[in-house]
Structure 1
């Protein structure tokens, strides 16, 4: 399917589109190098460059979740920049996502988007928000509510702040303690992000292990 001319240059914003438009766009260069979202008849392709702050904080949040799961003996699986599709309805590509708990089935490790009708939505979806921060709190939050993730976190790169939501019954409410990872306080994640501004990973992970233990 040819890429619609009207969509060719409209990136980093929501544009009206069909599901087929979305799929065709994400299979077309250079957009296949970006991150794609689809919901409620609109698509968004993000091509903005990701700077050091985004990359570093993505790594730190991922480590906090993984270490918390390890310390608490919670089963989890991490997917970085993975595509999740509810075919024909919505699609997303969070910076990082986790399946958490005893019952999830690991999706196959191929190049196809993860089918949430088969494997379920990720338990936790995380967006690292630089220039996209306001959109992460707005339209993307609605997308993740409709996708029925259990938790959705938005990291404000500029402020080392985490805005976390519990999702249920088609809506969300802000939380300061995770339900997906019991007893993990959002303030601990923010402290880790703050420390990451000056500490290397060895020092940071040492502090995290003590804090989580």
Structure 2
């Protein structure tokens, strides 16, 4: 039986669905340009507009991670809005994700979702939470725990706050210093997000380089 693809799907909330429903929905207009999540028999299709705060803080946090990895000579690859699928079980599309460390394989540069069964889950997954902030701390956090990422960060756009969680054995606990980016204090990430409210990128990156030196 072909999966159902409702033409008036309720978006920006979790709805009961099969994996086939989830995949078919993301292949069907107008949802093919949306962000999609699937876990435990439910899917969430996000179509809410992303404002300047979300876009800016997403950019700043990814710069902090990438620059820290460069300064500390950590092997690191970033994926912005990339889809990660564990076929039949879970799917996600974090605002930004990173593979970090010496042993990961680079996924192919095509339009297919990254196959977690082949390449493993991201080492670090980050959600920038505007209207979705409560869900990022709730259902999505459970999704990333089950997926087995190394760390999960949630950025509260309104408060310029970064909440970070170490994930292990199907659960998570809040942390204040990253383990996948050894020595990176989350207070530094928060300060960068706060500075981004008034500083341009050149000024911000100059400060960050000095802080990491």
Q: TM-score range by the shorter chain?
A: over 0.9
Residue deviations 1:111-154 (CA, integer Å, cap 9, x gap): 00000000000000000000000000000000000000000000
2:132 aligns to what? Answer: 132
2:199 aligns to what? Answer: 199
Report deviation, 1:32. 1.1
Q: After TM superposition, where is structure 1 displaced by more than 2 Å over at least 4 residues in a row?
A: 1-5
1:144 aligns to what? Answer: 144
1:113 aligns to what? Answer: 113
Q: Could you tell me whether the CA contact under 8 Å between 1:79 and 1:98 is conserved in 2?
A: yes
1:11 aligns to what? Answer: 11
Report deviation, 1:43. 0.1
1:88 aligns to what? Answer: 88
1:65 aligns to what? Answer: 65
Give secondary structure in 2 for the equivalent of 1:118.
helix
Q: Could you tell me whether the CA contact under 8 Å between 2:129 and 2:156 is conserved in 1?
A: yes
Report deviation, 1:4. 3.0
Give secondary structure in 2 for the equivalent of 1:154.
strand
1:97 aligns to what? Answer: 97
CA distance in 2, matches of 1:53, 1:62: 14
Report deviation, 1:3. 4.3
CA distance in 2, matches of 1:49, 1:68: 30
Report deviation, 1:176. 0.3
CA-atom RMSD in angstroms: 0.9
Q: Could you tell me whether the CA contact under 8 Å between 2:3 and 2:20 is conserved in 1?
A: no
Q: Could you tell me whether the CA contact under 8 Å between 1:3 and 1:28 is conserved in 2?
A: no
CA distance in 1, matches of 2:181, 2:108: 24
Q: Could you tell me whether the CA contact under 8 Å between 1:86 and 1:117 is conserved in 2?
A: yes
Q: Could you tell me whether the CA contact under 8 Å between 1:99 and 1:124 is conserved in 2?
A: yes
Q: Tell me the TM-score normalised to structure 1 length.
A: 0.98
CA distance in 2, matches of 1:2, 1:22: 9
Report deviation, 1:8. 2.8
Give secondary structure in 2 for the equivalent of 1:45.
strand
CA distance in 2, matches of 1:192, 1:4: 42
CA distance in 1, matches of 2:202, 2:30: 37
CA distance in 2, matches of 1:191, 1:4: 44
1:27 aligns to what? Answer: 27
Count of aligned positions:
212
CA distance in 1, matches of 2:156, 2:70: 26
